[in-house]
Amino acid sequence: MFFVSAGIVVGVVYNKYKLDVDALTTLNNGVKVYSLNGEQTSLCNTNRSIVEIESLPEYVLNAFIDTEDKRFYSHSGFDILRIVKASFVNIKNGSKSQGASTISQQLIKNALLTNEKTYSRKIKELVLAHKMEKMFNKDEILEMYLNTIYFGSNAYGIENASQIYFNKSAKDLTLNETCALAGIIKSPAKYSPRTNIENCIERKNLVAKFMLDAGDITENEYNEVINSDIVVVDNSEFDFSYEEEAIIEACRLLNLTERELINKEYEIITFKDNELQKQVIEANNSVISDSKSATNSNLDSVTILTNLDGHIQAYYVNSPYNLHNMKRQPASTLKPLAVYLPCIIHNILAPATQILDDPIDYNGYSPNNADNKFRGYISTREAVSTSLNIPAVKALDYVGTLKAKETLSNLGINIDDSDLNLSLALGSTKNGVSLIDLLTAYVTIANYGTYRPLSFVSKILDKDKNVIYSHEDYSNKVFSDEDCFLLTDMLKDTAKTGSAKRLNSLNMPIASKTGTASNGEKNTDLYNVSYTTEHALISWISNIKDNSLPKNLRSSVEATEINKQILSSIYELNKPKDFVIPENVKLMPYDRVEAENNHRIVSPSSNLERYITYDFFKLANPPKENNINNNIGLTSELSKSGAKISFTALKTKEYTVIKRTDKDEILSQIKDVSKVIELTDKDVFNFEEITYIVKSDDLCEEITIRPKDYLINLLNNEILNGKRKWYV
């Protein structure tokens, strides 16, 4: 009775699941990706090319069978021995990590099911695999499998994988290349020859061992494989960087896997501007090609261009590696965001504020400037534009790392608690920052503090042209207009006279920031982020393979040059407008002499223009009131030789010294000095009374003497010795 009941249950479950033959056999659905102007991009890696197994060498078929399903030709869809073995392992380990899927099961899962690890999905997979085995012969199943399986780098099917990795048809694969492809499918992220070449080679050699053990290759063939490297081709001429990112974003938006998205025949309309994409590719390839030739080294680069609405208009990866969502040390590109912006927000710094650039030591942390020089007191504006390290560390110490973390979070950059130390000022982070997040932060500054996440996808349509997703611009005001304007204005100096000064020849308002990361010995990453009132872009250069750049790539010149060429093309006919000054920001005067001599930013003590400097200030944080004492301490002293007049002069004032009797006489005019002035007037004894007047633009002090009184006192006290007194 038990067996009858069990049979009924199995029968009900078996009949419950229907095999979708159309979905199984329609393997060339692909996904259509359109630029904003409606041009369709035909993706070779998603619009799959079908290969017939009769055209493939026998070792290609054997490599996948020996690795994935040794009893493929003998089972009826599932391998009961492997299932039992995997079950014991999973029970012992308390997990579902051990798989036992046959080629037939993998095909069903990839073509018809999801990747969820549940027993119900596994049962459905077993049932459908068995039904498929009844409907198709083994060669048909193997052919469908090879044309469906995912090989990483958005490569679906062996023909596309062969083209993407080796630039050849699958029928021309060598045994060594075949073993590499057969090894990838276990975990494309882990065994990709573009991102993990060491893992790929190790896995490739294991596949060769499986084939040797199965008797499908000879000992000599095995030795040849394990002693051979993998050479991946550079397919940059067939650029699908933008489309690949759009597909990844679409999957996230719809909560689908790439395989599920492709099989649903969706259409993706992006924000891609074909002309801008072309300009980005040309500029990037031109600079990187020249740099490769000059340095004789491997170089990887990424350039992203967006408008200020957050619509990514061009995206290009010039690298054989999969750099999606790559995170790297942002270096000095983080200084304006983590240091100077919070200091401006909390009224600690203004562009004119003076910072002392001298040796520092914070409990053993003693960073230097890149050139190992010290400049003494400099303005915040100069510290930002020249990207000095010491002023940035001092400023972060003052504002505090917690405020830095809060500011970065509002910009969309999340750092680890272990990053809350002063090395954050120089862009040192535990997990790094993605290029998209870094560009998003600068777009926020360009937008006067309005945060907008960047996006590739405008719309997604189903196969019946119904809109199933439409992008809606999201914005959030996270900083004030005035704080962001002050930072932008300093970054404009970076593009004029600072570390990105090669942009100055474009003769347009551009804000820019460079960055150079190192591993302690060699540079590893070069950055330039630039923005106008219309666009923002980032270019990054590195050497992924060696994680070090050649010695003659010592700064961000090449990254800046890429952005310069792109901006030159974009604005060839029409220059962008300048950044608008917010209402709560004014161009204000401050005392140049006080700034130079005492490093204080105070209101002018003189109306003379040569002693006044101007910069932008928030109304909430203007130059401090000048509390300099204008009392010059005018004194006079009579002696036998005449009258000595003295007073204290300030460099910022011009003084006129006047002698007044029955008329006014100018004794002296004094300017451009800061010292005690002493004047002697010998012609005094012809006058009963004299008034000396010292005038400047904002003061008038006077003192009166009576020379004849002096003479009478002199006569009585010194000449007559007090015996007889004279009076006047």
Do 613 and 651 sit in the same domain of this protein? no
pLDDT of res. 238: 59
Q: Where are the alpha helices (DSSP H) in 529-669?
A: 557-570, 592-597
Burial string for 561-595 (b: 16+ CB within 10 Å, else e) reads bbbbbbbeebbeeeebeebeebeebeebbbbbbbb
Q: Are strands 664-670 and 675-681 parallel, antiparallel or unpaired?
A: unpaired
Whether 5 has a pLDDT exceeding 50, the answer reads: no
With a CB cutoff of 8 Å and minimum separation 6, the contacts of 15 are none
Domain boundary among 593, 618, 643: 618
Residue 455: CATH number of its domain: 3.40.710.10
pLDDT of res. 519: 86
pLDDT of res. 19: 81
Other Cβ atoms closer than 10 A to 109: 20
| Domain contains 290 | yes
Higher pLDDT, 29 or 138: 138
pLDDT of res. 3: 36
Residue 183: CATH number of its domain: 1.10.3810.10
Domains held by the chain: number: 4
Enclosing H/E stretch for 460: strand 457-461
d(CA 356, CA 383): 10
pLDDT of res. 117: 66
Q: Binning pLDDT at 50, 70 and 90, where does residue 629 land? A: low
Q: pLDDT tens digits for 338-353?
A: 999 999 999 999 999 9
Do 344 and 412 sit in the same domain of this protein? yes
| Contact between residue 204 and residue 180 where contact means Cβ atoms under 8 Å apart | yes
d(CA 209, CA 179): 10
| 3-class secondary structure, 461 | strand
Percent of the chain with pLDDT over 90: 59
Burial string for 417-426 (b: 16+ CB within 10 Å, else e) reads eebeebebbb
Do 602 and 643 sit in the same domain of this protein? no
SS (H, E, C) 380-414: HHHHHHCCCHHHHHHHHHHHCHHHHHHHHHHCCCC
Do 382 and 457 sit in the same domain of this protein? yes
| Domain contains 627 | no
55-69, 229-243, 420-434, 638-652: least confidently modelled range: 229-243
How many whole angstroms from its chain centre is CA 536? 11
Q: pLDDT tens digits for 78-114?
A: 777 766 665 555 555 554 444 568 988 888 887 777 6
Q: What is the mean pLDDT of the chain?
A: 88
Q: Binning pLDDT at 50, 70 and 90, where does residue 9 land? A: very low
Do 90 and 225 sit in the same domain of this protein? yes
For the segment 573-592, the average pLDDT, to the nearest whole number, is 96
Residue 698: CATH number of its domain: 2.60.40
* Dihedral in degrees, nearest 10, Cα atoms 462, 464, 466, 468: -20
| Domain contains 465 | yes
Integer angstrom CA distances of residue 172 from 231, 389, 512: 15, 55, 49
| Domain contains 577 | no
278: containing domain: 274-570
Whether 636 has a pLDDT exceeding 60, the answer reads: yes
pLDDT of res. 598: 86
Phi, psi at residue 290, to the nearest 5°? -65, -40
Do 208 and 316 sit in the same domain of this protein? no
| Domain contains 356 | yes
The strand ranges marked E within 650-708 are 655-660, 664-670, 675-681, 690-695, 700-705
109-123, 162-176, 467-481: least confidently modelled range: 109-123
* Dihedral in degrees, nearest 10, Cα atoms 318, 320, 324, 328: -80
Whether 396 has a pLDDT exceeding 60, the answer reads: yes
Do 561 and 490 sit in the same domain of this protein? yes
| Contact between residue 702 and residue 693 where contact means Cβ atoms under 8 Å apart | yes
Q: Binning pLDDT at 50, 70 and 90, where does residue 48 land? A: low
| Domain contains 514 | yes
Do 324 and 430 sit in the same domain of this protein? yes
Q: Binning pLDDT at 50, 70 and 90, where does residue 506 land? A: very high
Closest C-alpha to 451, from 470, 434, 473, 430: 473
Domain boundary among 232, 253, 283: 232
- Where residue 443 falls (left for φ over 0; alpha for ψ -120 to 50; beta otherwise) is alpha
| Report for 207-211, 543-547, 660-664: range of highest mean pLDDT | 207-211
Do 400 and 438 sit in the same domain of this protein? yes
Closest C-alpha to 437, from 549, 310, 259, 574: 310
Enter the tokens of residue 25. 């056999």
| Domain contains 674 | yes
Do 596 and 461 sit in the same domain of this protein? no
Place of tokens 């130059």: 623
Integer angstrom CA distances of residue 459 from 86, 274, 466, 678: 43, 17, 10, 82
Closest C-alpha to 112, from 29, 231, 186: 29
d(CA 280, CA 648): 63
Closest C-alpha to 129, from 146, 148, 108, 155: 108
Domain boundary among 198, 214, 232: 232
For the segment 4-12, the average pLDDT, to the nearest whole number, is 45
| Domain contains 54 | yes
Other Cβ atoms closer than 10 A to 259: 20
Q: Where are the alpha helices (DSSP H) in 171-240?
A: 175-184, 188-191, 197-213, 219-226
For the segment 4-15, the average pLDDT, to the nearest whole number, is 50
Enter the tokens of residue 347. 């009224």
Do 614 and 554 sit in the same domain of this protein? no
Whether 427 has a pLDDT exceeding 70, the answer reads: yes
Enter the tokens of residue 685. 């004894």
How many whole angstroms from its chain centre is CA 282? 22
Do 540 and 606 sit in the same domain of this protein? no
41-45, 58-62, 497-501, 718-722: least confidently modelled range: 41-45
Q: pLDDT tens digits for 68-78?
A: 999 898 888 87
